[in-house]
Amino acid sequence: MAARVTITEVAARAGVSISSVSAALNGRPGVSDRTREKIVALAEELGFVPSVRGRSLAGKRTYAVGLVVHRDPDVLELDPFFGAFIGGIESYIDRYGFALVLQTSSSRDQVLDRYRRLAAGRRVDGVFLNELEVDDARIDVVRELGLPTVGINADADFPLPSVRQDHAEGIRDTVEHLVALGHRDIAFVGGPPHYVHSRQRERAWRESITACGLSPRRVVLGAFTYESGLAAAAQLLAGDERPTAVVCANDLSAMGFIAQAEHLGLSVPRDLSVTGFDGIQLGAYLRPSLTTVQTSPKALGAEAARMLLALLDDVDVADTDIPAASFVVRDSTGPAPR
Amino acid sequence: MAARVTITEVAARAGVSISSVSAALNGRPGVSDRTREKIVALAEELGFVPSVRGRSLAGKRTYAVGLVVHRDPDVLELDPFFGAFIGGIESYIDRYGFALVLQTSSSRDQVLDRYRRLAAGRRVDGVFLNELEVDDARIDVVRELGLPTVGINADADFPLPSVRQDHAEGIRDTVEHLVALGHRDIAFVGGPPHYVHSRQRERAWRESITACGLSPRRVVLGAFTYESGLAAAAQLLAGDERPTAVVCANDLSAMGFIAQAEHLGLSVPRDLSVTGFDGIQLGAYLRPSLTTVQTSPKALGAEAARMLLALLDDVDVADTDIPAASFVVRDSTGPAPR
DNA sequence: TTGAAAGCGCTACCAA
DNA sequence: TTGGTAGCGCTTTCAA
């Protein structure tokens, strides 16, 4: 283990006290410009990097933020959203010397426990809450722990600061696009109803359909997986009177839906139009490429990080909206069959 | 912020010294059983969780391990491997009170810098090195930093401890399966050649082909993406004399390959057999479902974590092999067209 | 403008 | 078997 330069060493070599070094390096007042320059130069030369542990013990910070991801044990594959979301968080926190502590856990109770331990062990200064659920138990936990928290895509009644990206506009555009193409029977494949975003997307679909003078009839709830898209298609396309278009609550289920439709001998978009939501990269390359709503997980992560760090500085933060997710027309939608 | 229970408080309430509390709670000798029990019970009752920062400053540990993931800025979506890999790491480290610090970065230089800073700030006690590259620059960095490190799926000449899952056997099975089905012209779609695992898979394909008395002729190098699978198919299936089977170095490119093949009017597996590698969940549900080699990212993560924590305890660790990735026959392979 | 010193919460050593 | 205490590396008062 390479010997590490500590503040004591920097101070000794600079011939000043460690408090001066601390002040100089942290931009605090109380050191003359000349002394500051000398210290900064020396620290640089020695490759001094303050120990996060010493600093965090003395200060009130750990310089880390946490995210706990809930995955079913059998669905350990993270959804494509995550890479970009995490990348967004880091693109912001990195410049402030923060790190991200990521935990995954397979049961809901364990998730709560993880948040508790992150807080109790003072492992992190704050956390993100994403994939929010209806009456999410994590909310009480973080409040009780006094843990600074930022919610992602929360509902309006969410009691903590949150970042949102509007989804309704994109879904409305999707429905209007389909209606303009002559579709009158537009089904919906949703996600698990305990997720806030599942409900949000279904509501948006429902309202858009109604606004177009149609009635929101056919809904199948899936699991945001490819497999559930297959199943939804099997169900919706079984009878005689099948929809001519289907709005899926995410891209993965739309992919499954299309696959099953084609398996049943239907051609997309000739016999059936299918849309997704998320804007995963794969969607652009599929055949047919997927008409979808492009979300911005990276921007969401960056903005959430900005808010969380502001919270830590006791800055009052207002809920933020990043630019709405935008509708993207590709090849999986076309004129309604007559 | 909820007032936190510290070791001092536990000691005061138990009427013992903090050193006894520390010894009792950490299973160190030097406390009577009765005292230990009393302390443990009280700590439990008070909800005492040792502060990681205090502990890490005093001890030599930070109780965190790090992973830096390199993603191209435009390919921010993590590959499906990651969720399970991270889950595997955590399933192990969690019980020892360790956390995972995850960083993503978009440039290669930045990756090195991240490892340096994780080490310099004493943010982590050790790191994982995955997606190893040929002459990987990270190796020198972690050595120079004296940072305990475990490599994932490294080559035999890797100078640090590593965990491996054999890939060659699965690829050999794949090739033999295709040969048994009558295929004689079996192409390969590889990954970027600077990755160790790209080369490993190509070599395994090459050796298997040769072992079957065929010659490894057609190789197209892709990027492990769906898109590159599309491109590879466009290239390999263009001419008159096209292969009857294609072994792809990962599932995603196999999916792209199949999509493009079908786009060109070929039916899989009737006209063309295609295989993947990884065993992502999607592959089981695709139509046709994907014949592939099932890897075990979760087990790999867990084993890597075990090794890393052993390294931190100065235990000598030998390189480990987890059970080989296994060949899985599904619907994307069939008899060679005559 | 500087430096000395008191912690932060814990571990680990040594003396009782 | 216990408790006292010296750090770990830093931040933050408070005096000089």
* Whether B32 CB is under 7 Å from strand C: no
Nucleotides of D under 7 A from a protein CB: 1-14
The predicted model gives A256-268 an average pLDDT of 95
Structure tokens at B168: 């060659």
Give the residues across from A151 on adjacent strands.
A129, A162
Residue A100 to residue B97, Cβ atoms within 8 A: no
Give Dmax (Cα) for chain A.
87
Per DSSP, the three-state class of A171 is helix
What is the structure's pLDDT at A1? 44
In chain B, the percentage of residues whose pLDDT exceeds 90 is 79
Mean pLDDT of all residues belonging to chain B: 93
**C-beta separation of A278 from A250 below 8 A:** yes
| DSSP sequence for B10-21 | HHHHHTS-HHHH
Q: Which residue has the higher pLDDT, B205 or A315?
A: B205
Cα distance between residue A147 and residue A154, in whole Å: 17
Q: Evaluate if residue B326 carries a pLDDT over 80.
A: yes
Residues 140-179 of B with CB under 7 A from strand D: none
What is the structure's pLDDT at B24? 93
What is the structure's pLDDT at A81? 79
* Weakest mean pLDDT among A202-206, A235-239, B107-111: B107-111
- Residues of B within 8 A of A227 (CB-CB) are 281, 285
* Whether A35 CB is under 7 Å from strand C: yes
Q: Evaluate if residue B122 carries a pLDDT over 60.
A: yes
pLDDT one-digit tens code per residue, B79-110? 777 888 999 999 999 989 899 999 988 888 89
- Counted residue by residue, chain B has a size of 338
Q: Evaluate if residue B1 carries a pLDDT over 50.
A: no
**CA pseudo-torsion sign A33, A37, A43, A46:** negative
Give the pLDDT band (50/70/90) at residue A59. confident
Residue of chain B minimizing CA distance to A62:
B53
Domain covering A64-165+297-322 in this structure, CATH number:
3.40.50.2300
* Weakest mean pLDDT among A195-199, A205-209, B32-36, B211-215: B32-36
Structure tokens at B240: 């008159």
H/E element, A245: strand A245-248
Query: Which top CATH class is A7-50?
Result: mainly alpha
H/E element, B102: strand B99-105
What is the structure's pLDDT at B42? 92
Cα distance between residue B60 and residue B204, in whole Å: 43
CA of A12 to C1' of D15 (A): 21
Of B234, B224, B215, nearest to B190 by C-alpha is: B224
In chain B, the percentage of residues whose pLDDT exceeds 70 is 98
Structure tokens at B118: 């994780």
Annotation: CATH topology of A168-295: Rossmann fold (3.40.50)
- Residues of B within 8 A of A93 (CB-CB) are none
A280: nearest CB among B56, B77, B147: B77
Mean pLDDT of all residues belonging to chain A: 93
The predicted model gives B225-234 an average pLDDT of 95
Phi and psi at B320, nearest 5°, equal -125, 150
Give the pLDDT band (50/70/90) at residue A175. very high
- The nearest CA of chain A is from the CA of B59 a distance in Å of 11
pLDDT one-digit tens code per residue, A100-130? 999 988 888 999 989 998 988 889 999 999 9
- Residues of A within 8 A of B230 (CB-CB) are 285
What is the structure's pLDDT at B231? 97
Cα distance between residue A48 and residue B221, in whole Å: 43
My answer on whether omega of the bond before B50 falls inside 30° of 0, hence cis, is no
Q: Evaluate if residue B124 carries a pLDDT over 60.
A: yes
Q: Evaluate if residue B13 carries a pLDDT over 80.
A: yes
Q: Which residues contact A320 (CB under 8 A, 6 or more apart)?
A: A162, A163, A164, A303, A307
* Weakest mean pLDDT among B58-67, B171-180, B225-234: B58-67
Domain boundaries, chain B: 7-50, 64-165+297-322, 168-295
Cα distance between residue B328 and residue B290, in whole Å: 8
* Whether B106 CB is under 7 Å from strand C: no
Residue B100 to residue A105, Cβ atoms within 8 A: no
What is the structure's pLDDT at A76? 61
**C-beta separation of A261 from A234 below 8 A:** no
CA end-to-end span of chain A, whole Å?
73
What is the structure's pLDDT at B73? 63
Q: Do domains A64-165+297-322 and A168-295 have the same CATH topology?
A: yes
Structure tokens at A321: 């909206």
* Whether B57 CB is under 7 Å from strand C: yes
The predicted model gives A252-279 an average pLDDT of 96
The predicted model gives A61-86 an average pLDDT of 82
Question: What residue has its CA nearest to the C1' of C3?
Answer: A17
Cα distance between residue A44 and residue B139, in whole Å: 24
What is the structure's pLDDT at A73? 63
Structure tokens at B36: 């230990």
Residue B45, exposed/middle/buried by CB under 10 A (0-12, 13-18, 19+)?
exposed
* Whether B103 CB is under 7 Å from strand D: no
**CA pseudo-torsion sign B113, B118, B120, B126:** negative
Helices (H) and strands (E) in chain A, counts: 13, 12
- Residues of B within 8 A of A69 (CB-CB) are 83
